[in-house]
Structure 1
Amino acid sequence: MIKVKITILFLILITSSCVSNKDIAYFQFDEIEQSAVSNNFKTIFKPDDLLQITISSVDVEAAIPFNLPAVSFSTTGLATGTAKQQTYLIDSKGEIDFPIFGKLKLGGLSREEAFKMLKDKLSPDYIDNPTINISIANFKVTVYGDVKNPGTFTIPNERVSILDAIGLAGDLNISGRRDNVMVIREENNKKVKYKVNLLSNKTLTSPVFYLQQNDVVYVEHNKARIQSASSNSNTSLFISVTGLIITIVSLLTR
């Protein structure tokens, strides 16, 4: 009977831990389309983006009105400047309130388009040949689902691929589905879902290979993980019943 018990336990372990390499190895299918692979990515400004805009010029005095410092107020009511530069929040209409010019609609524009808009407004009436820098202070992506360390991650350089984001989350668990990773992105005020198959080399040419600010990456659990979760509550009962059956069989065969 000892052999019977060992055999049953062995079968349980084998069936519960069997994982195929083809289910977990990245980039194993399809040829890489080198002509479609690009290192270029385009940032599109969206509502709730917090922008840092710096205007530089040879004429330092001319640029000062367009580079307001953030201020705080003391208990005496006096405003004191801080080292932090003023930021501009894109509102629900896609607009920011910029010095001198007032409302500017940057929502929906790429960085290059925003550069051109500001340069056209500044030159030559205010600043001749201005240098403009725009960055997103609150660029972040979220990774959750079947990964080791789910969470929201702030990206300092605005360039993050789906692989970078998964790396920040500690990679997928063995039970995470690599063939059905979802990226949720806001486009034209709508939530759009993209499917990414990390088993395929076509991931490298996906429109969501480079993530946008506020993108959400969701990793689905595989069937074994779901079944395991649903059966955990019955595990103790199963073990008890199995033990009882083994005991009965042992008594009957004496």
Structure 2
Amino acid sequence: MRKSRIYIFFLLSVIFTSCVPTKDLIYLQDKGNSNNEVVTAAKQKPYRLQTNDILSITIKAIDPKLVEMFNGTVNQGMVNITAEGNYFNGYTVDDHGNIRLPILGEINVLGYTAEEVRIKIEKMLYEQFFKTEAGIFVVVKLAGFRYSIIGEVASTGTKIIYQDRVNIIEAIANAGDITVVGDRKDVKVIRTYPQGSETFSIDLTDSNAVNSEVFYLQPNDNIYVKPLKQKTWGTGKTGVESLTTILTLFSLVTTSLILLQL
């Protein structure tokens, strides 16, 4: 009788320790260390261009014919906005930090923000080719917000989102969400700078994650979601799965012992 209780206790212990707790699955929980009455500014530094970034640049004027030569064939008509289209039609920052525009030639943009590049191009156009009356209007954007995500998510790989600001929740949702056995408490964000790279950790189960410096991503960030220990054990994600695995193992051991005694 005592042995039976021990076996039952052991079985229940294994089931409960091998399941993934609900608190490990819920995003942005209030863990008692947040103040809902205080609104803090988002910690997002302006992104500064790096080599291999791709820019989408459009130059407009009151009379469109005046700027046709600056746009070349890239912005004439409707352009199909795809990753492939951006690669072939956009302006890639080369290893020297330059982009090459029609007529204007090479322009150094390394370390500039998109807004600073827009101002720089407008200034060049007015100084070299146009008067104020021409009404020059320049649009400079990154050709899609690109990031990579690996680990315990539904869809890994390099992703592109066509918006200016992307937070980590949006990025993970775009990858199909973190799986049940993914560690939401220690998501790694690897950020590249001209001088090297830095790895950050963010707990997405804590509501204070919105105050993290990596809650808002920067282009070319890499996200890694590591697995929970439950996946390593291989016992199952829920109590039912764990019980099924344990019973199967128990049945296998029992059958083996019976066969050995024959």
Q: Tell me the TM-score normalised to structure 1 length.
A: 0.76
Give the stretch that moved more between structures: 13-22 or 142-151.
13-22
Identify unmatched segments of 5+ residues in structure 2.
80-84, 236-245
- The answer to whether the 8 Å contact 1:56/1:130 transfers is yes
Post-superposition offset of 1:157: 1.8
3-state SS in 2 of match to 1:46:
coil
Aligned to 2:47: 43
Aligned to 1:25: 26
- Within 5 A, what are the aligned runs for 1:98-137? 98-127=101-130, 128=132, 129-137=135-143
3-state SS in 1 of match to 2:214:
coil
- The answer to whether the 8 Å contact 1:49/1:139 transfers is no
- The answer to whether the 8 Å contact 2:60/2:67 transfers is yes
Residue identity matched to 1:19: V
Residue identity matched to 1:136: L
Q: Any idea what the Cα deviations from partners look like across 1:168-206, whole Å, max 9, x if unmatched?
A: 122112221111101111112412211111122221122
Identify unmatched segments of 5+ residues in structure 1.
72-80, 230-234
CA RMSD of aligned residues (A): 3.6
Q: Any idea what the Cα deviations from partners look like across 1:62-87, whole Å, max 9, x if unmatched?
A: 3222111149xxxxxxxxx8854942
Change (3 A) 1:159 1:24: same
Q: Any idea what the Cα deviations from partners look like across 1:141-178, whole Å, max 9, x if unmatched?
A: 22211122223221112322100011112211222111
In the alignment, structure 1 residue 87 sits paired with structure 2 residue 87: no
In the alignment, structure 1 residue 242 sits paired with structure 2 residue 245: no
- The answer to whether the 8 Å contact 1:37/1:204 transfers is no
In the alignment, structure 1 residue 160 sits paired with structure 2 residue 166: yes
- The answer to whether the 8 Å contact 1:49/1:138 transfers is no
Residue identity matched to 1:141: Y
* Identity %, equivalent residues: 27
- The answer to whether the 8 Å contact 1:184/1:192 transfers is yes
Q: Tell me the TM-score normalised to structure 2 length.
A: 0.74
More strand by share: 1
**Pairs aligned (count):** 234
Aligned to 1:11: 12
- The answer to whether the 8 Å contact 1:32/1:201 transfers is no
Q: Any idea what the Cα deviations from partners look like across 1:110-143, whole Å, max 9, x if unmatched?
A: 1121122112211244233421111222532222
Distance in 1 of aligned mates of 2:124 and 2:74: 23
Distance in 1 of aligned mates of 2:203 and 2:92: 35
If asked which structure has higher relative contact order (CA below 8 Å, sep 6+), I would say 2
